[in-house]
């Protein structure tokens, strides 16, 4: 049986030609395409007082952002427990400790009032993550951060292309992270990006992403390299390759198509699934959002049965995510009240969502869910 996957990138001849071009040129590491990709993302976002730096993965971006913020041994970083494991591991990699916070039931984004209760003298930063079609209350988050003199890392892995109060995500936060991994709205095969405020931050990131080497990116962006350089700081092999950047450039050229088709699919899901008793759909209008995934919430007593029913109908589905405090590595981590997180992670279910999604596939998903609840 052919399965309808949860994620499916929009790949065609443009990506194949881009990949072949990189292979033909033969410069496979960080080079011209990386610089071009950074410039195109900057243009797309409308950056005028910030800078984009491409990295190997979203996790690499989070790790370097925390180091850039000065996060280190003994520090505490508040993060939603309802978040990707990459954020938690990046905190540990800095020698710091994650402190788990609850999320809001309506948006599944961080509950900033509960976060404020977790702040103490060891707190150095807050990670806030936009979830799917929902954006955080970034103004209120910044007010709290200013009050306690904290840094804010905006995890925008889900919200590339979305707008907050008319402003493109990436244009207003302290530091913003994007992910371009295989399942995101646009993919670089794998990739990440940081948007930072100062040229000094850019210089530090350029060195840290290239195992600390002071090779100028202006040289490497010409598909050249310097054979002599210094190393002044800790670094990692976190740079983006030309191949990945070339795929990202091809993806970015069709961003309008990706954006419109995903909105249309989410609107159809909401319209049809909201009519089914027992199904809770996202409370979103999708006007200024570019959804990364689509989820529903159902009673925890039927969630796993619904998953099995969908699988039997050839429909893949997922759970995004298990909460951080459920993992053995973090079972002694500090946390506040996590009652919303504990409830929603037993109810949530990710459904297939693709750019230019086949209408028959989407109706198959809807009909399968409708049939499941009709039999109960």
Share of the chain above pLDDT 90, in %: 98
Please compute the mean of the pLDDT values over residues 19-41 and round it to a whole number. 97
Sorting pLDDT into bands at 50, 70 and 90, what band is 215?
very high
Residue 376: the pLDDT is 81
The predicted pLDDT at position 230 comes to 97
Q: Which residue, 17, 41, 11, is CA-closest to 240?
A: 41
Task: Report whether pLDDT(4) > 90.
Answer: yes
Of 329, 205, 343, nearest in space to 280 by CA: 343
Burial of residue 254, with CB atoms counted within 10 A of its CB: 0-12 exposed, 13-18 middle, 19 or more buried: middle
Decide whether 13-252 matches 256-374 in CATH topology.
Answer: no
- Whole-angstrom CA distances from 256 to 9, 18, 186, 248, 266 are 15, 19, 11, 14, 16
Looking at per-residue pLDDT, the higher value among 355 and 284 belongs to 355
| Mean pLDDT, residues 2-26 taken together | 97
Average pLDDT on 354-370 reads: 97
Q: What are 235-276's pLDDT values in tens digits?
A: 999 999 999 999 999 999 999 999 999 999 999 999 999 999
Name 272's Cβ contacts closer than 8 Å, sequence gap at least 6: 366, 370
Alpha carbon distance 282, 347 (integer Å): 13
Question: At 99, is the secondary structure helix, strand, or coil?
Answer: strand
CA quadruple 85, 323, 340, 272: dihedral sign = positive
In 3D, which of 193, 248, 201, 255 has the Cα closest to residue 59?
A: 193
Q: Tell me the CA distances in angstroms from 348 to 123, 133, 193, 332, one per residue in order.
A: 30, 14, 28, 25
Please, which pLDDT band fits residue 20 given cuts at 50, 70 and 90?
very high
Q: Does residue 285 carry a pLDDT above 90?
A: no
Determine what percent of the chain is predicted with pLDDT higher than 70: 100
Is pLDDT above 80 for 141?
A: yes
Domain residue extents for the chain:
13-252, 256-374
Residue 120 has pLDDT above 80, yes or no: yes
Look at residue 1 in the predicted model and tell me its pLDDT: 74
Chain mean pLDDT for the chain = 97
Average of pLDDT values for 274-303?
A: 96
Per-residue confidence band for 161, with pLDDT thresholds at 50, 70 and 90: very high
The architecture that CATH gives domain 13-252 is 3-Layer(aba) Sandwich (3.40)
Name the architecture of domain 256-374: Alpha-Beta Complex (3.90)
Q: Stretch 104-125: mean pLDDT, rounded?
A: 98
The CB-side HSE value for 127 (13 A sphere, CA atoms) comes to 34
53-111 pLDDT, tens digit each = 999 999 999 999 999 999 999 999 999 999 999 999 999 999 999 999 999 999 999 99
Task: Over range 133-146, report the average pLDDT.
Answer: 97
Spatial distance between the Cα atoms of 21 and 242, rounded to a whole number of angstroms: 10
Average pLDDT for residues 341-357, to the nearest whole number? 98
Element (H, E) at 42: helix 32-45
pTM over 0.85: yes
pLDDT of 142: 98
């Amino acid at each position: 049986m052919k399965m309808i996957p949860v994620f499916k990138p929009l790949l065609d001849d443009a990506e194949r030609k881009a990949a072949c071009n990189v292979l033909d040129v033969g410069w496979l590491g960080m080079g011209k395409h990386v610089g071009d990709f950074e410039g195109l993302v900057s243009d797309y976002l409308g950056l005028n007082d910030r800078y984009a730096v491409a990295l190997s993965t979203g996790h690499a971006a989070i790790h370097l952002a925390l180091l850039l913020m000065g996060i280190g041994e003994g520090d505490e970083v508040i993060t939603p427990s309802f978040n990707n494991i990459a954020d938690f591991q990046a905190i540990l990699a800095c020698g710091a400790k994650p402190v788990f916070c609850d999320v809001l039931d309506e948006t599944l984004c961080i509950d900033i009032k509960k976060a404020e209760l977790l702040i103490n003298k060891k707190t150095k930063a807050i990670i806030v993550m936009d979830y799917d079609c929902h954006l955080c209350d970034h103004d209120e988050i910044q007010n709290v951060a200013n009050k306690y003199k904290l840094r804010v890392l905006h995890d925008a892995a889900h919200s590339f292309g979305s707008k907050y109060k008319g402003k493109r995500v990436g244009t207003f936060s302290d530091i913003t992270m994007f992910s371009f991994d295989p399942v995101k709205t646009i993919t670089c095969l794998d990739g990440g990006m940081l948007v930072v405020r100062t040229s000094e931050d850019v210089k530090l990131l350029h060195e840290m992403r290239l195992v600390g080497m002071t090779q100028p990116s202006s040289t490497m962006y010409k598909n050249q390299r310097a054979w002599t350089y210094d190393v002044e700081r800790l670094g990692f092999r976190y740079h983006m390759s030309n191949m990945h950047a070339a795929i990202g450039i091809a993806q970015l050229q069709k961003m309008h198509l990706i954006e419109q088709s995903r909105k249309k699919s989410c609107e159809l899901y909401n319209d049809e699934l909201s009519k089914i008793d027992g199904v809770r759909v996202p409370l979103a209008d999708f006007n200024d959002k570019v959804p990364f995934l689509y989820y529903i919430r159902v009673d925890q007593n039927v969630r796993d049965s619904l998953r099995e029913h969908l699988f039997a109908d050839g429909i893949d589905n997922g759970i995004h995510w298990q909460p951080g405090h459920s993992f053995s590595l973090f079972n002694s981590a500090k946390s506040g009240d996590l009652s919303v997180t504990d409830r929603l992670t037993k109810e949530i279910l990710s459904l297939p969502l693709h750019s230019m999604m086949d209408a028959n596939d989407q109706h198959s998903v809807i009909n399968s869910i409708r049939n499941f609840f009709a039999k109960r």
